[in-house]
């Protein structure tokens, strides 16, 4: 299957849309890789939370709730140049779910307000009619529940 990659820089408190929708919804995607990197490695301290959602978000936040069925992925990075123990911690978790609509990224740096880089690889999947219907109905249900 083809892989599409996306990369960019997210400012603190920023949201970004990655446009994936098609007219008939027959192309689906699944996250294969999700990575984040501080814009200024070696910064004294920053803690960033980057989340990927299947529905638009009005305001970014740093709260992580895996019971939210619209949450597709979370990336957390903590850098502390003064620490001899763990100068950098990174945690990336993403769901193995198929989607056929746009995805939405949010970023919050809870410490100093720095920007963060992201890199996402999506596996492109041809959806049959049943998979297309399920993915589309899921998106409609998630948007309605917001």
Question: Facing residues of 88 across strands?
Answer: 79
**Distance, first Cα to last Cα, the chain:** 32
d(CA 82, CA 103): 36
User: For residue 96, what are its two tokens?
Assistant: 């193995």
CA–CA dist 33, 79 (Å, integer)? 21
Please write the tens of the pLDDT for every residue from 20-74: 987 777 888 999 999 998 887 766 678 899 999 999 998 999 999 999 989 999 9
pTM (2 d.p.)? 0.85
Q: Does domain 3-145 have CATH number 2.60.120?
A: yes
Q: Spell out the domain ranges in the chain.
A: 3-145
What angle (nearest 5°) sits at the alpha carbon of residue 91, between those of residues 90 and 97?
140
């Amino acid at each position: 299957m083809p892989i599409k990659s996306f990369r960019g820089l997210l400012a603190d408190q920023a949201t970004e849309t990655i446009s994936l929708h098609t007219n008939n919804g027959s192309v689906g995607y699944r996250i294969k890789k999700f990575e984040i990197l501080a814009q200024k490695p070696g910064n004294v301290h920053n803690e960033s939370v980057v989340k990927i959602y299947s529905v638009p978000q009005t305001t970014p936040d740093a709260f992580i709730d895996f019971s939210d069925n619209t949450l597709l992925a979370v990336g957390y990075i903590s850098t502390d140049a003064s620490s001899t123990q763990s100068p950098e911690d990174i945690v990336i978790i993403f769901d193995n779910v198929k989607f056929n609509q746009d995805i939405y990224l949010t970023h919050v740096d809870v410490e100093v307000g720095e920007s963060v880089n992201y890199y996402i690889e999506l596996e492109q999947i041809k959806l049959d009619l049943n998979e297309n219907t399920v993915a589309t109905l899921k998106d409609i249900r998630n948007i309605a529940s917001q």
